[in-house]
Amino acid sequence: MSERAAYSAARIFDGEAWHEDAAILTRDGLVEAVLPIDRLPAGTPVHRLDGGMIVPGFVDLQVNGGGGLMLNDRQDVETIRTICSAHAQFGTTALLPTLITDTAEVIRAAVAAGEAAARENVPGFLGLHLEGPHLSAARKGAHDPALIRPMSAADEAFLIDARRRLPALLVTLAPETVPPQRIARLAKAGIVVSLGHTDTDHATMQEAASAGARMVTHLFNAMSQIGNREPGVAGATLDIGLLYAGLIADGIHVAPATMGLALRAKKGPGRIFLVTDAMATVGTDLQSFTLNGRTILRDKGRLTLADGTLAGSDLDMIAAVRLVHRALGLPLEEALRMAALYPAEAMSLDAQYGRLAPGARADFLHLSDNLEIGGVWIGAKEAA
């Protein structure tokens, strides 16, 4: 028997436009329609949320950990479930648990855990993001240089097989270490290729994009910067229209003024979207944790290795939305699109995620007018 319900608030943002005096009509975990309250089918149960707004649930494509756990430390369904649950309370209703550069054994275990999480329909689990190990050691960031290595034919075959076993797979690689022909084969297999931890030039970025790379990992971080005679990876990201780009909007990884410059400069149709790059600390009071045997310290919103290198973030998605709305002055609807619609588009999943449209998943939030979270629903079931 199908389950039908409606949810109303003072305003609804469907990912494209605002609706007043309206409700979301859901059936079996999907959006049936957004329509005026007085046009709801007779007998439909209506959940009236007090004031504020209903908006699409956030989509985070780079989540290393949360709730005290890191995918690198434990590759199983319960770790994925804990990470998804920790981020749901901050508005993220779909995410890619992210494995930072590690051994081949750990990578295989992470893929197996992702496959199991998909079978069990873990709420919020979207697929996996493998960030490395095929990166540039020159732009390693917090990745262990001893584990960075070129991509072999066996690695390529493994990734293509992993994509068949997972609902979605995002792979971050450095294009100077992975030739365009290999990128093309990965993309053809349905893997979303993101360019990151790279010291390459504009020409190589263009070749990778033409081969099928679709995205850039954490814009301005762990990449060559804009120069007067060479745009570098950062400049190429803004110049090449096909590329989407994740942005860590915590005010630490990228200065707000630089974020604003990038948003004004970015060519489309690729967009800049929000990611957290969150670590185990999110949703906890942890002051330190380990990654690949190295201690990471937490201090006033900043996570670093002992030498001061930034190591992921202590950011949650609603905080990122507040920052780009308030510090950058972006219209609220654009800040919300950066957290929901644009990352879904980057993964070619925007028919299901990032919007409240007929046939999309009923993943949504209730926000107060000052952007405090009042409730989170995943598949029309309350999560937080």
Query: For residue range 119-135, what is the model confidence (pLDDT) as tens digits?
Result: 999 999 999 999 999 99
Question: DSSP for 47-107?
Answer: EE--SSEEEEPEEEEEE-EETTEETTT--SHHHHHHHHHHHHTTTEEEEEEEEES--HHHH
Q: What is the mean pLDDT of the chain?
A: 96
Domains (range + CATH), the chain: 4-55+358-382 (2.30.40.10), 58-346 (3.20.20.140)
pLDDT over 90 for what percent of the chain? Answer: 90
Lowest mean pLDDT among 43-52, 228-237, 325-334: 43-52
Please indicate whether residue 239 is annotated as part of the active site.
no
* pLDDT score of 164: 97
Query: For residue range 41-67, what is the model confidence (pLDDT) as tens digits?
Result: 998 999 999 899 999 999 999 999 999
What mean pLDDT comes out for the span 33-48?
93
Asked if the model's pLDDT at residue 290 lies above 90, the reply is: no
- Options 60, 144, 155, 277, the catalytic residue: 277
CB hemisphere CA count around 71 (13 angstroms): 36
Whether the Cβ atoms of residue 262 and residue 274 lie closer than 8 Å to each other: no
Asked if the model's pLDDT at residue 83 lies above 60, the reply is: yes
What distance in Å separates the CA atoms of residue 208 and residue 211, rounded to the nearest whole number? Answer: 5
Asked if the model's pLDDT at residue 364 lies above 90, the reply is: yes
Instruction: List the structure tokens of 86.
Output: 């920790």
When pLDDT is cut at 50, 70 and 90, the band that residue 384 belongs to is low
Indicate the SS3 state at residue 310: strand
46-48: strand order across its sheet: 30-36, 22-27, 4-8, 46-48
Lowest mean pLDDT among 61-70, 220-229, 288-297: 288-297
C-alpha distance from residue 95 to each of 123, 146, 171, 275 (Å): 10, 28, 14, 10
* pLDDT score of 143: 92
Indicate the SS3 state at residue 36: strand
When pLDDT is cut at 50, 70 and 90, the band that residue 90 belongs to is very high
Strand-pair partners of 367: 53, 373
DSSP 127: -
Indicate the SS3 state at residue 266: coil
What distance in Å separates the CA atoms of residue 139 and residue 147, rounded to the nearest whole number? Answer: 13
What distance in Å separates the CA atoms of residue 340 and residue 330, rounded to the nearest whole number? Answer: 15
Whether the Cβ atoms of residue 221 and residue 254 lie closer than 8 Å to each other: yes
What distance in Å separates the CA atoms of residue 163 and residue 192, rounded to the nearest whole number? Answer: 10
What distance in Å separates the CA atoms of residue 269 and residue 244, rounded to the nearest whole number? Answer: 8
C-alpha distance from residue 153 to each of 20, 132, 160, 182, 183 (Å): 55, 15, 11, 9, 12
Query: Hunting for tokens 């000052």 — which residue is that?
Result: 370
Asked if the model's pLDDT at residue 180 lies above 90, the reply is: yes
* pLDDT score of 379: 97
